Structure 1
């Protein structure tokens, strides 16, 4: 859970009063579980909330956190130091750069975590998601797209130039990825 001091909550409330109704706060981690992990705080507009977000209710507003990032934000603290001429908001996240792979030999779990932490946050901006369906004996990953990615005209480019490149850079065990989705173009498709 992210702890937000009362003074920081008051600060956020003052900022949120100037925003569109329904705007809340998001706490995030870029590159979680790596030595270069970066934490931040941003506005979270009503339309930006996804089913993968967890809501933490504060006094008169909500802090949203992307569910797979919760372990990295464990014991996090947000505070503000207010002086006469300026104020300094601080976010301390002692576990942001900790790796949480319990079993390094569980390749499927490592790939699923990689997809959830590195690929799906980008796809969720378009209402999409990708899931690992199988790892073949010949070293290929079969993936299935859903949401806005299902039927999207850019899915092959996303698969080969985005996902596959990142997977191959991270996992030397694999030769490539392929899509097993039965694509049905419709109103849900992003492009």
Structure 2
């Protein structure tokens, strides 16, 4: 089966949209723009027969064919397409937890595993405060050096965030990590979430 899960309600909804297009053999194509970056976006589009890319991975979903952009596949691991009805009609949702950074396994290099946890687990939480954290380097083979940005830079709660949030999560997920250091200049407080 496909790396992307398309729920039955989503299949029905997409099949209904396709039926209104009046194009024989119309499918749906999923791709990620700027994959592996913080600006990555997962997109879903109609795919008429004349726009099928030979390298696309194809999956027969009975009511239509799903095409996955070959270069996007690693970033679509565990992606989920769902449709739920509501008072306004309904909403199609696409969740792609690995769009910003491809899923890595425990044998990947340490920086890749740290970046994956930052992108998939830590930064989504910091984003609610307009913040982000990025890997600067790894020293002594186990000490992760980070830089906070956005609402985290100059934030009075950043040491708490670093110790209780970021360091705890990184040590749990990546056992080789022994400590986390912050090299951010927190004297700059213009965008700080808590001042």
TM-score by length of 1: 0.54
Q: Which residue of 2 aligns with 1:72?
A: 77
Q: CA deviation at 1:9?
A: 10
Q: CA deviation at 1:175?
A: 1.2
Q: CA deviation at 1:54?
A: 1.9
Gap change, CA 1:151 and 1:188, over 3 Å in 2: same
For the 8 Å contact 2:131–2:148, the answer to whether it is kept is: yes
Q: Which residue of 2 aligns with 1:45?
A: none
What's the secondary structure of 2:134's corresponding residue? strand
Q: CA deviation at 1:174?
A: 1.8
In structure 1, distance between residues paired with 2:149 and 2:39: 14
Structure 1 gaps of 5+ residues are 11-50, 60-68, 82-86
1:1-191 aligned at under 5 Å gives the runs 7=13, 52=39, 54=41, 56=43, 70-72=75-77, 74=79, 76-79=80-83, 100-101=103-104, 104-137=107-140, 139-191=142-194
What's the secondary structure of 1:177's corresponding residue? strand
Q: Which one has a bigger Cα radius of gyration?
A: 2
For the 8 Å contact 2:103–2:116, the answer to whether it is kept is: no
TM-score by length of 2: 0.53
Matched positions, count: 135
Structure 2 gaps of 5+ residues are 17-37, 47-73
Q: CA deviation at 1:170?
A: 1.4
Aligned-pair Cα RMSD in Å: 4.2
